[in-house]
Amino acid sequence: MSKRPEWLDAAVFYEIYPQSFKDTDGDGIGNINGMTEKLSYIRELGCNAIWINPCFESPFGDAGYDVSDYCRIAPRYGTNDDMVRLFEEAHKQGIHILLDLVPGHTSWDHPWFKESMKAARNEYTDRYVWTDSVWEEPEGFSTIRGLSERDGSCIVNFFTHQPALNYGFYRPEKPWQQAMDAPGPQATIEALKDIMRFWLSKGCDGFRVDMAGSLVKNDEDQKGTIALWQNIRAFLDEEYPEAAMVSEWGEPDKSLAGGFHMDFLLHFGPSHYNDLFRCEKPFFAGNGDASEFVAKYIENYERSERKGLICIPSGNHDMDRLARHIKGDNRRLAFAFLLSMPGAPYIYYGDEIGMNYVEGLASVEGGYGRTGSRSPMQWDTSENAGFSSAPSDRLYIPIDPSEDRPDAASQTEDEASLRSEVKRLIAVRQSHKALNNLGDIEFILNGAKEKPLAYTRSFDGEKIFVIINPADEKYEMTSAEGLSDIIYKFGECSVTDTGCVIGPHSAAFIRQGADRGSEASE
């Protein structure tokens, strides 16, 4: 792993879905200037970093993950100058910004693909992965066929309109499968570097990389993809050494080996992340079991040399809202967990106020079942919840119609609100390096059914014991010695000679290895 930018060590991210955050021009769609306007809200919450979902030119068949020009802000969001201003204003407030980089595919509207479809060879013939014959649809891949004069089928990565960019095959098995060092894959890598240069030179602080582990094909152990990212990291170390790189990979040992600074846990795959928040019986709903999550987390933690650089989000644009499955005060316990774990935490816009998953919405821009998690941010109690001055039927996605929907203004003023609790938790995290992104973790209780989660965070001599009990019954912890002051508490907790007693639906952070004094902030 390359040298990490120092600001990442204490980064707490806020994810902005640009379509739904804040509309300042009345067209019903959020924009860049809306993000700039709300920077103070994000900073007041305590977040010091932002991840912006794709905001580049696109036909929006997949909400911007189908890019048609990587170097131009989509006109509906504003201009490149607006983005530069956002970078500048964010930096003035001590906020860093990651853009969402989608390296695996483009839209079929991208000029590269239009050139690649031509029968005559040109600069972009090998920019995408094509078979030699339109009649060949390779096993294990979905393809586009019959759209152009070129004879061949083009592999797609997700939706039909997202042709896969060509980074080569780790083990070529067919004549049309190019090796990683072939001219076509190498040109794609150089084009990716040019995109990164473009935005880094304008003030971007780095990238969150979409599906970073999927680029090289026939790469079962991902050795080829790791090598590809090591190539990218070497370029960044030479030209932009402060550029932060966070991967959507889900395998931190591979991500860190590739040169990324941190890796996301995914809501699919082997992490058991969904056991905590989104399953039939989530742990934080009070009736689930976190033990398989803890076992997999420890495995990843050890495999990544105990660096602890595993990012856990409250949710994102691809998942159900946290509030769909976790109710009442247990949402506060979920944030007590998220904001006391190693790695940079990510708060999906609106999760800090408990925004609902909006049921029954028709799909918007490829959202399908995800659309209910993408409704407009609820800023206040005014028309359209303060998101937009547009007529309600022109909004990108309808506002949550619930009469009791939460809003940011009300919760900011209410010290007993979920948002105020999240703000307190961030402040406690930032006041103790043991709770920051680099602090070590040792699990004491693994959250097996009807038991709390308990773990010790430590850094440079400071140790903090964390215990979280979402269940309906209190729990007496008798194997945590040396507990002293409670530095954060929600619900009920008392320190004993051998540990602590944690009440139902309660959480506490307790100094460990120091003389017992008076209880601190609650």
pLDDT in tens, 72-126: 999 999 999 999 999 999 999 999 999 999 999 999 999 999 999 999 999 999 9
pLDDT at 152 over 70: yes
- pLDDT number for residue 516: 54
Average pLDDT over residues 447-466: 96
* Residue 522 confidence class, pLDDT cut points 50, 70, 90: very low
What single string gives the DSSP state of each residue in 221-290?
T-HHHHHHHHHHHHHHHHH-TT-EEEE--S-HHHHHHTT-SEEEPPSSSTT-THHHHSSSS-GGGTT---
Q: Which has more confidence, 271 or 40?
A: 40
Angle formed at CA 436 by CA 431 and CA 441, multiple of 5 degrees: 125
* Residue 307 confidence class, pLDDT cut points 50, 70, 90: confident
Average pLDDT over residues 354-359: 98
Q: What are phi and psi of 315, to 5 degrees?
A: 165, -175
CA atoms lying within 13 Å on the CB side of residue 217? 26
Euclidean distance between CA atoms 418 and 407, whole angstroms: 11
- pLDDT number for residue 188: 98
Q: pLDDT, tens digit, for every residue of 236-274?
A: 999 999 999 999 998 999 999 999 999 987 777 788 999
* Per-residue tokens: 467: 């215990």
- Residues 6 or more apart whose Cβ sits within 8 Å of residue 16: 35, 50, 51, 52, 53, 349
- pLDDT number for residue 4: 84
Euclidean distance between CA atoms 51 and 346, whole angstroms: 9
- pLDDT number for residue 520: 43
Give the count of beta carbons closer than 10 Å to the beta carbon of residue 255: 31
Q: Which of 35-39, 134-138, 359-363 has the lowest mean pLDDT?
A: 134-138
By the 8 A CB rule, do 287 and 280 touch? Answer: no
In percent, the amount of the chain with pLDDT more than 70 equals 98
Euclidean distance between CA atoms 95 and 316, whole angstroms: 20
- pLDDT number for residue 519: 43
pLDDT at 430 over 50: yes
- pLDDT number for residue 265: 79
Q: pLDDT, tens digit, for every residue of 336-347?
A: 999 999 999 999
Query: Residue 367: which of 150, 7, 66 has the closest Cα?
Result: 66
- pLDDT number for residue 339: 98
Q: What are phi and psi of 325, to 5 degrees?
A: -115, -25
CA distances from 412 to 106, 387, 406, 513 (A): 40, 16, 11, 35
Euclidean distance between CA atoms 56 and 168, whole angstroms: 25
Q: Which domains does the chain have, with CATH numbers?
A: 6-103+185-428 (3.20.20.80), 105-164 (3.90.400.10), 441-512 (2.60.40.1180)
- pLDDT number for residue 441: 96
By the 8 A CB rule, do 13 and 100 touch? Answer: no
- pLDDT number for residue 521: 41
In percent, the amount of the chain with pLDDT more than 90 equals 91
Mean per-residue pLDDT over the chain, rounded: 95
- pLDDT number for residue 320: 96
Average pLDDT over residues 451-470: 97
- pLDDT number for residue 137: 87
Tokens 């991967």 belong to residue: 247
- pLDDT number for residue 518: 41
Length of the chain equals 522
How is residue 339 annotated by DSSP?
T
Q: Which has more confidence, 366 or 514?
A: 366
- pLDDT number for residue 135: 96
- pLDDT number for residue 368: 98
Query: Residue 162: which of 109, 98, 215 has the closest Cα?
Result: 109
* Residue 309 confidence class, pLDDT cut points 50, 70, 90: confident
- pLDDT number for residue 308: 63
User: What is the rounded (10 degree) CA torsion for 22, 27, 29, 32?
Assistant: -60
Euclidean distance between CA atoms 423 and 157, whole angstroms: 39
Euclidean distance between CA atoms 226 and 215, whole angstroms: 10
Sign (positive or negative) of CA dihedral 357, 363, 367, 369: positive
